[in-house]
Each structure stands twice: as C-alpha cells, then as structure tokens.
Structure 1
Amino acid sequence: MFLLYNNQLLHEEELRLPITNRAFQYNDGFFETMIVQDGKIRFWQDHLGRMAKATHALKLQLSSGLENFEALEEQLLQLATQNNCQNYGRLKLKVWRGGAGLFTPETNTTEWLATVQPATAPKHEPIHIGVAHSVHTSFSPFSHFKGPNSLLYVLAGTEKKETKYDDLLLLNDRKEASELISANLFWFKQGILYTPALDTGCVNGIVRRNILRWCKSEGISVKETYAEPPEIINAEAVFAGNIAGLRQVSKLQDAEMTTDATIVTTIREVLKLK
C-alpha cells in the first residue's frame, strides 16, 4: 500500500516515525476519515471545515502542504488511484503537532499521514443496539472532532464486543443520549427530526451536518435535543449515520422499535450514500 507522509509518497514499509512523535507519545492531534467515491472525496468542504475547527482548538499551525487545500485534495485523490481505491475507498488523514518536548510542545507546526484502503459499501440491515455502561461522553473543546477522545470509543467498542450488540448508545453524565460508537444518532417523530445536541459530547459528524442542512432546505423541523433512551423508543424511525452511510435501529436493548424506512431512504438518496 502507498501512503503520503508530509507530502512524500511512500510504500507502507518505508514509513519511519521517530520515538518522539507526539501522536504516539501524547495523542497530540486529530484525524479525519473520509470516503473516496467515483474519483471524488465525498463532503470534502465539510471535512475541511471540521479540520479548521480542530486546528484552532488544538492551537496547531497547518504546514507541510496541508495549508493548500486544493493541492491537498489532488494529492489525496492521486493516492487513492495509486492504491486502486478511486472508485470506492476509505481515506484517513492523521494530523499531529510536530517536534518533541514533554507536555509543553516545542512547536505548533504540523506533520501528517494519509492512507487510503479499499472499502465495501455499507450494509443496510437494521441494527440492534445496547446502552454503554463502561464510559460516557463529556462535552469539551475537543469532543466535536475525532482523535483526542479515541480511548472513549475504544472502551465502548470493547464493551460492544463483550455484550454482542451491533452497536452501543453512549450517554453523557446526565444519562442523556449522545451518539453511537462511530455514528451520530437521529430519530424522526411527528414530522420533526431529532438528534442529540453537540453539548451532550457527541462528534459533530460530517453526515450529521449534511442531514441538518438538507432538512433546513426542505423545511423539515430539526431539534438538537437532550433525551433519555426511553424517549427515543416510540419514534417513527431511529437511525445512525456516519460518512459510510445510514443504518436503522430496530431494537434498543429489549425494546422493539418502528423501522419505517421512508426518511432514511430519502436521505440516503439525497446525500448519495451507498
């Protein structure tokens, strides 16, 4: 597999990172996961917007080719072609603070690594979810983007594996619904689309942004809300969404849920999600 490391195209086995690397030592950075489809990066402008906010929150200075977004997009698409992923692939861009140092960094300039791997179209079958008990989300300057809170999702993933659910609903410390392990949560009831508010600690997902934008354009009421799990169960449709696609929720723990696919199918078609 080919990868890009600070503008250099390398074979995977050629990559060498110093032991002082701050992504390794302190998780001092963030990442974006994107989908390459039909020679384009899906939702590229939204990814750039979230990168800008992550950069600001972490006080990073984009460098090493990251600052020219048009050239960066071209490089990433060339990488996808090199790895035969231009038709459908999963692209990950990891950005971290350069230099060494302890908790106090030596510099705020950045280094980066991009990889692209073949991906399969997401499944459409409804999922059965549980409620996470080992961890909870917490709102912070870092909770809206990916990277700093990764351990939260790793531990939730471990619990999911142990409990054998398809996914887990993460709650905040007030027992309010926040998100699933790797997707935002939505439910549709009486003509209103609900989703947990960002200050429940959920990620400001790229598909979440596009769903809310589409609802606004169509005159569909949206409520970013605070709800405990029982309030979700009687919705007309409950679904999870991330950059890979949408999945309906058919069961929350032991409670059966309505699986009206109308709104989910419409959003999937509008956003061109496979």
Structure 2
Amino acid sequence: MHEKMNGNDTIFWKKVNLSNWIEQKEQDVNRAFLFGDGLFETMVFQNGKIRFANLHLERLLTGCQVLGMNTEQLSPIEEIERALKLGFGEDKVLRVRWTIYRSGKGKYTPLTDEIEESLQIEDFHAAPLTKQSAFVHPEIYLSSSPWSSCKTLNALPYVIANRDRVKLGMEEVILLGQGSFVSEAGAANLFWVKSGVFYTPSLGTGCIEGIGRSVIIDLLKSKGIEIQEGYFRLDDMYEASSVFISNVTGISYLLTLEGKTLGQERFVMIEQLFEFDNIY
C-alpha cells in the first residue's frame, strides 16, 4: 500500500509480463516518446471503480482501430481497478492516465502493431465550478482528421494554447477549427444553451470526443432535451444563457469571454453527473 501522496506527486507504473504493474522511476525511450504514436485516457478512480469505465474502454478501442494498433493484449478495466485497489485502497480518489502506445522502435514506419501500456496516478482534483476569464486563441486552429476525435499523444496544439493562456493570465482558452468554427476549449469540450436548447461543436470541427461530452449528450437525450451538434460561430456563444466546458473531471461555467460577460444559468442535473456518488 502506497503512503499518502503529496498533492503534486505523480507515480508512474508500467505493465510487464502481461500481468503485473510495477512502479517505474524512468520512462523508456519508445514510440510514444519518439513519435507520439499512441493514445491515452484520463480517468477518475473512486470507490474502487473507474468512473465511466465502459465509455473510456469504448473510446480507447475505437482509437486503437483508427491507429491500427492491436488490442488483443489490452488490459481489462477490471484488472486496472484491482491493481489500483491493491496499491491505494478503495477510499482513495485518483486521477489515472492510461497510456497505450505502439510497441517497438523503428523510424516513422512501425515495426509492429503490438502495444505497450502505462499508468500514471495522482491525486484527483475536481474541475472548478467557474472560470472567470477566457479568450479565443488567434493563431491555433484545429483540423479534422480520421483521428482528431481520438485522444492521441499528439497534443501540441493544446500544449501551446495552454502555455499562451498562462502567459496571458487567463483561466481558459477557446480553440477554433477550420473555417473559424468554434471547436473546443484547452482541455475540455464546449457547450452552451439558448432558449432551452443545448449546443456543442461537431466532431468535424476537430474537437476530441470527450467522455464528459458523451455523458452530457446521453443525459440530455434521455431527458428529451434538445441537443444540437454542429458548426457554430463565436457569436452563438455570446448570445447564450450559459456557456460551460466539460471533461471527465467535471464542468466549469465560463463567466467572461474576450472581456464580454456571458450568461450565468446553471444546470444542477449536469453538475451531478460528476459527483462522487454517481455510478453512471
């Protein structure tokens, strides 16, 4: 059993011998490191379970298929849960990054489609309920591709966008896609509400198919609430009664965008999706 982690600690585990997870002090040089040739899932472990486990696995399997990676040796979610319970107990709430990358070295051309896996574990911190300031990045535009909706290791647009966000003293950054359509936030999907209708950018804008996004869309459809996925302009957000972002850690309402005050309507039923007692 690990001793209590400090808030900024990260423990790195790697899977070996197809069955055991071991703590690793240094990362190997691999195709994830060399080429970003892989995928990852950011997950929340609570009450001995991975929250939204089936959605994480479904997205990961889809991503592996798109990238042509063999999933026969992919760890079952239940195995990861058992390892985390053994290492940290059931009461610990953790943020877990599950990384899957193509095995072997090679150059751009892979030598195999087999996979390797690693886990990075740290204390969980919920998304803040509100973010005071947001801006639209003037230079970074997301593009659509067969893998743009997957959570790949090629994250440079988000890295640079968030670096610039910090330099500007902002709490959030909004990214546009091709054609200057609204796409997503720096590490989250976008939603807004007008006249009782929810809106979110289409995956065709280049945004990631987030787990939080999927959970929210499923909830709205189950309640008979209209949700439109499409290609929208910034003006649509300014006219909304509420603008919020979502990822697996929760939702955050945006209070201002480019210095303009946004609508402040809240949606408790959506907030509750990400509470710890929810076993969705």
Common fold, TM-score beyond 0.5? yes
Shift of 1:75: 2.9
Counterpart amino acid of 2:67? L
Q: Measure the CA separation in 2 of the matches of 1:133 and 1:153.
A: 13
Match of 2:7 in 1: none
Cα separation, 2, equivalents of 1:16 and 1:179: 31
CA contact (8 A) 1:4 1:79 kept: no
Pair 1:235-2:247 in alignment:
no
The reply to whether residue 109 of structure 1 matches residue 118 of structure 2 is no
1:80 deviates by 5.0
Residue 3 of structure 1 corresponds to 13
Indicate yes or no: 2:208 matched with 1:203.
yes
Amino acid paired to 2:21: L
2: distance between equivalents of 1:256 and 1:44? 36
Structure 2 length-normalised TM: 0.88
How far off its partner does 1:82 sit? 1.0
| Cα distance change on mapping 1:74 and 1:5 into 2, 3 Å | closer
SS in 2 for 1:90: strand
| Distance in structure 1 (CA, Å) of the matches to 2:89 and 2:136 | 38
TM (norm. structure 1) is 0.90
* Alpha-carbon shift at residue 94 of structure 1 (Å): 0.5
Would you say how many aligned residue pairs link Structure 1 and Structure 2? 265
Residue 29 to residue 208, structure 1, CA distance change in 2 (3 Å)? same
Deviation of 1:37 after TM superposition, in Å, equals 1.5
The aligned amino acid for 2:230 is T
Partner letter of residue 155 of structure 1?
A: I
How far did residue 110 of structure 1 move? Answer: 0.4
Q: Which of these residues, 259, 266, 269, is aligned with residue 266 of structure 1?
A: 269
- CA distance in structure 2 between the aligned counterparts of 1:50 and 1:172, rounded to whole angstroms: 22
The alpha carbon displacement at 1:84 in A equals 5.4
Specify whether residues 237 and 253 from structure 1 end up closer, same or farther in structure 2 by C-alpha distance, changes over 3 A only.
Answer: same
1:53-111 Cα distance to aligned partner (Å, 9 max, x none): 100110000244x1x52xx4233442254145753110101101111211111110101
Deviation at 1:143, TM superposition (A): 0.8
Q: Secondary structure in 2 aligned to 1:133?
A: strand
**Is the contact made by 2:100 and 2:118 (CA closer than 8 Å) also made in structure 1?**
yes
Identical counterparts, % of pairs: 30
Unaligned runs of 5+ residues in structure 2 are 1-10
How far off its partner does 1:50 sit? 0.4
| Matches for 1:9-158 after TM superposition, within 5 Å | 9-13=21-25, 15=26, 17=28, 19=29, 21-64=30-73, 66=74, 69=76, 72-79=77-84, 81-83=86-88, 86-158=91-163
Counterpart AA for 2:15: Y
Stretches of structure 1 lacking an aligned partner (at least 5 in a row): none
Considering only aligned residues, what root-mean-square deviation do their CA atoms show, in Å? 1.9
Deviation at 1:174, TM superposition (A): 1.0
Residue by residue over 1:1-36, the C-alpha shift from the partner in whole angstroms, topping out at 9 and shown as x without a partner, is 4624244332332x552x3x1111111111111011
The code of the aligned residue for 1:44 comes to A
Of the candidates 175, 179, 184, which is equivalent to residue 180 of structure 2? Answer: 175
